Every structure is written in structure tokens, then in C-alpha cells.
Amino acid sequence: MALLSAHRQGTYRGKFTKDFPLGEKSWFRCGGKADLLFEPEDIEDLSVFLKEYPAGDPLMVLGGMANCIIRDGGIRGCVVRLGKPFAEIEIQGNRIMAGAGALNGSVAAAAAKEGIGGLEFLSGIPGTVGGALAMNAGAYGTEVKDVLAAAMALDDFGVFVPLELEDMDMSYRTCGAASRGITFVGAVFEGKEEDREIVRERLKEIKAKRQETQPISEKTGGSTFANPTDTELEKAGLEKGTRAWQLVEKVGGRGLKIGGAQMSEKHCNFMINTGDATAKDLEELGDELIRRVREECGIELHWEIKRLGER
């Protein structure tokens, strides 16, 4: 891999780290290393890097790693992470411009401070704006596509791509633009003018609700499985609106353990690393539940958490 040579790495301003312990830094706190990590200095640096990166060599972009299992065998090639230089947040009227490296929680807090409502849901979603765009993250009836005005990205060749909402091809927890392999560098969110105190109150409510219902202080990756669609449920003869957690519960998933991995007692669609889980334990637990739900309920659950790298 040409980019692994120290000589090539020296031509960029960003930082390279060989054998970066990616899994340890993920929310699950387990899993393997990345062959190489690149943290670009700014958009221009990232653009040159993408342009020169050898076609065909593996390349992946990650944010806060709040929605992924890094497999124990690690990730081949290079992982790009957008850090502080991409974390700027700027407000103009009711619009919030945020870099892809900004934390969702910081975007929600900045909006609340300015009396902009509608983005509170982001406060309870760990991770970065880049990850929220790629996942069309959402909570409490609002998702990113409801508040997104535009996004900015770089393509495989490092060329800047401005994206309107309709170019994003977003639906429940998916973004077509992301699956075509682009790197988001920023987003423009649109909220509405509201009383600061009311927005702050909603932030507090969300925080309290999360603490009450989710194992947020555990090593977790949020919802393990996406909720099935009504069409899938209908086909399986199940009631419309049935949630993934209800299916997990039905097949004895609450508290189920494999090695150090366990489905949370508090919220049984949340998987947790109880201390010494490997990525293999986590994945086996998820696959076991998919199997049980398939056999006992006649429906296929789909992973919402991304499983990345080699086993």
C-alpha cells in the first residue's frame, strides 16, 4: 500500500498513526486496530489525500464510532477521522452550519443557546454530524432529514460535492449518498425561532428520558437492530408498529449473554460490553437473536450497528 510509506505520509499536513487502536476508542471499547489512521488538518488536506489515495486500496471514514463494532481482526487500509478542524459550528439566522466532526450534542446545545428549536433530538444521539448524516440519525419522531437543508461532501477524487436534501436519498437510518462512498465534511441544519427556555426545557426532558430508559453509561452502540417496517411485519403476520426490542424480548433476549456481551436489562435492543467482551461476542449475540427471531417470529431483523473490518 503506497500510502503506508512514511515518505508519502509526509506530504500531507494531517496526522497519520500506524496500528491505531480503533476498537478501544469505539463506544463498545473493544475490537481491533486500523492499519493506518489519518486525521486531516482541513478540507484541502483531505481533498488532496482522497485524490492521491491509491484506487482500490481500502479506505473508510468514521466519526465518533457510536454506531459500530470494530471487528477483532481490525481494519485493513486507512481509516479517516475528522477531528477538531472539522468541528466548527456557525449560526446564521435559524440555520446552523456544522462541520462533520462536530458532536451532535454540541449542535443541539448551540441551537438551544440561540433560541433555535427543532434540533433537540440530536442532544441524545452520541457521535458526530458526519455519522448522523450517514445514518440519518433520529429520535423521538424527528430524524436528520427533517432538519437538514444541505450537506457538503468530498467524492473519491477529493472533489467538493454540494448536496441538497433530495440528493441525500435519506430514509429510516440510511443515506443513499453515504452508501455511494462520499465523505461528508459538513451540514446545514434549519431550525425555527423559539423561546430559549422552552428549547432548554426540551433538552432537559430528553436527557432525563434517556437516563431513565437507556443504558447510556454502559459501553454500547445504541440500538442494535433497526425497527422492522410495517410491510415486513405484515408479511410475517405481526402487528404493525412492533418494535425491534419487542421481538428481542419475545425470544428471551433481555439480559441474554454470550461471553462478555449482553443485551441490556434496561433496554433490550441495546447491546453492552459488560467488561471483557470481544467484538466476536457482540456479533455472535446479535446473530443469535436474528436467528431466534427468524425462527420464532418469522421475520428478519436487520443490524442497525455497522460491523466493520475483519473477524
Ligand X SMILES: Cc1cc2nc3c(=O)[nH]c(=O)nc-3n(C[C@H](O)[C@H](O)[C@H](O)COP(=O)(O)OP(=O)(O)OC[C@H]3O[C@@H](n4cnc5c(N)ncnc54)[C@H](O)[C@@H]3O)c2cc1C
Q: Using CB under 6 A, which of 47, 94, 123, 183 touches ligand X? A: 183
The residues, any chain, with a CB within 8 Å of residue 26's CB and separated by 6 or more, are 65, 66, 68, 69, 70, 221
- Residue whose C-alpha is closest to residue 137's, from 183, 112, 103, 113: 103
Helices assigned H by DSSP within the chain: 6-9, 22-25, 43-52, 104-113, 129-135, 144-147, 165-168, 176-179, 196-213, 230-235, 244-250, 279-297
Q: Using CB under 6 A, which of 22, 78, 82, 96 touches ligand X? A: 82
In the complex, least distance from residue 178 CB atom to ligand X, rounded to whole angstroms: 5
In the complex, least distance from residue 193 CB atom to ligand X, rounded to whole angstroms: 25
Q: Using CB under 6 A, which of 98, 125, 206, 285 touches ligand X? A: 125
Cell 434496561 sits on residue = 266
Q: Which is nearer to ligand X, 67 or 94 (CB)?
A: 67
Q: Does 53 interact with ligand X (rule: CB under 6 A)?
A: no
φ, ψ at 242 (rounded to 5°): -60, 135
304 part of the active site: yes
Q: Which is nearer to ligand X, 122 or 297 (CB)?
A: 122
Q: Does 30 interact with ligand X (rule: CB under 6 A)?
A: no
Q: Does 277 interact with ligand X (rule: CB under 6 A)?
A: no
Q: Does 31 interact with ligand X (rule: CB under 6 A)?
A: no
7-43 burial code (b ≥16 CB/10 A, e <16): ebbeebebebbeebebbebbbbebbbbbbbbbbbbeb
173 part of the active site: yes
Q: Does 132 interact with ligand X (rule: CB under 6 A)?
A: yes
Q: How far apart are CA 203 and CA 222, in angstroms?
A: 19
Q: Does 23 interact with ligand X (rule: CB under 6 A)?
A: no
**Annotated catalytic residue: which of 71, 81, 123, 173?**
173
Interacting positions 220-239 with ligand X (CB under 6 A): 220-222
According to DSSP, the β-strands at 183-190 and 95-99 are: antiparallel
* Number of residues located near ligand X, criterion CB under 6 A: 34
Q: Does 272 interact with ligand X (rule: CB under 6 A)?
A: no
> Which residue sits closest to ligand X, CB atoms considered?
131
Q: Using CB under 6 A, which of 207, 294, 306, 307 touches ligand X? A: 306
Q: Count of CB atoms within 10 A of residue 4's CB?
A: 14
Q: How far apart are CA 144 and CA 100, in angstroms?
A: 13
Binding site for ligand X (CB under 6 A): 27, 60-68, 82, 100, 124-128, 130-132, 134-135, 137-139, 178, 183-184, 214, 216, 220-222, 306
So which residues are the catalytic ones? 173, 223, 304
